Amino acid sequence: DIQMTQSPSSLSASVGDRVTITCRASQVISNYLAWYQQKPGKVPKLLIYAASTLQSGVPSRFSGSGSGTDFTLTISSLRPEDVATYYCQKYNTAPLTFGQGTKVEIK
Amino acid sequence: EVQLLESGGGLVQPGGSLRLSCAASGFTFTTYAMSWVRQAPGKGLEWVSIITGSGHSTYYADSVKGRFTISRDNSKSTLFVQMNSLRVEDTAVYYCAKSIPSSGYLFPPIDSWGQGTLVTVSS
């Protein structure tokens, strides 16, 4: 099975900082990659799918890129409401594995 | 508005069984693939299973294959998962989840989640 590895596991950044989270697949998955945001005590929310397509209603400071095995989620200017754990997920084939998550905090 | 309401969680002994249900509303249920995703306390998301809109095809995580069975009743807009031979490591909040429109995807990503139901496997 394809493994999904996110880095870093956690990060602390200042408001206004550019934040980048990476997700690496152990095999090529084309662009079948989604990013989710889970705020503390809340259910996950879809941010991006097809590696770079912004889900409706998601702020434009979120963006995704990559193809093949290496992907990134970028928050262009971190805001306090972005404190959350972010997960990538592959969906080209089953199992639809999630990454282990990246916890984003405010410094 | 999409609503997904899970039920059926609770405390069960190791080796026991449980059936979770998810009542869906606010969308044309039969059009969308549906999934179960779980989250152990303080841990990350784990995909469990997905079923196509027709119900004809199902897929499972290796960790539950042979023990869990996903199904759906499109006439009642309800998703199910039958969980047998439960293990302590199956303890988690189980989320019912709706996929985005297929648009050619066999396994579309998830755009809506229920609030989850807690399953605790313990003696």
- Per-residue pLDDT reduced to its tens digit, B50-69: 999 999 999 999 999 999 99
Q: Does A36 touch chain B (CB under 8 A)?
A: yes
Mean pLDDT of B64-86: 98
pLDDT of residue B105: 83
pLDDT tens-digit map of A35-62: 999 999 999 999 999 999 999 999 999 9
Among B61, B109, B115, whose Cβ lies nearest the Cβ of A91? B109
Min distance A85 CA to chain B CA atoms (Å): 9
With H, G, I as helix, E, B as strand and everything else as coil, classify residue B55.
coil
Question: Inter-chain contact A101–B110, Cβ cutoff 8 Å?
Answer: no
Question: Inter-chain contact A100–B109, Cβ cutoff 8 Å?
Answer: no
For residue B49, is pLDDT > 90?
Answer: yes
pLDDT of residue B104: 79
Q: How many CB pairs under 8 A join A and B?
A: 61
With a pLDDT cut of 70, the percent of chain B lying above it is 100
Alpha-carbon distance of A99 to A70, in angstroms, equals: 13
pLDDT of residue B32: 95
Question: Which of A96, A97, A98, A100 is the best substitution to test chain B (most B C-beta atoms within 10 A)?
Answer: A96
pLDDT of residue A64: 98
- Mean pLDDT (chain B) is 96
Q: Does A31 touch chain B (CB under 8 A)?
A: no
Distances (CA, A) of A77 to A27, A31, A106, B55: 31, 25, 12, 42
Question: Inter-chain contact A43–B45, Cβ cutoff 8 Å?
Answer: no
pLDDT of residue A23: 98
Q: Which residues of chain A have pLDDT under 50?
A: none
Whether the CA torsion A24, A50, A35, A64 is positive or negative: it is: positive
Q: Does A58 touch chain B (CB under 8 A)?
A: no
Q: Does A44 touch chain B (CB under 8 A)?
A: yes
Min distance B79 CA to chain A CA atoms (Å): 18
pLDDT of residue A46: 97
With H, G, I as helix, E, B as strand and everything else as coil, classify residue A64.
strand
A4: amino acid identity, one letter: M
Return the number of other C-beta atoms located less than 10 Å from residue B21's C-beta: 17
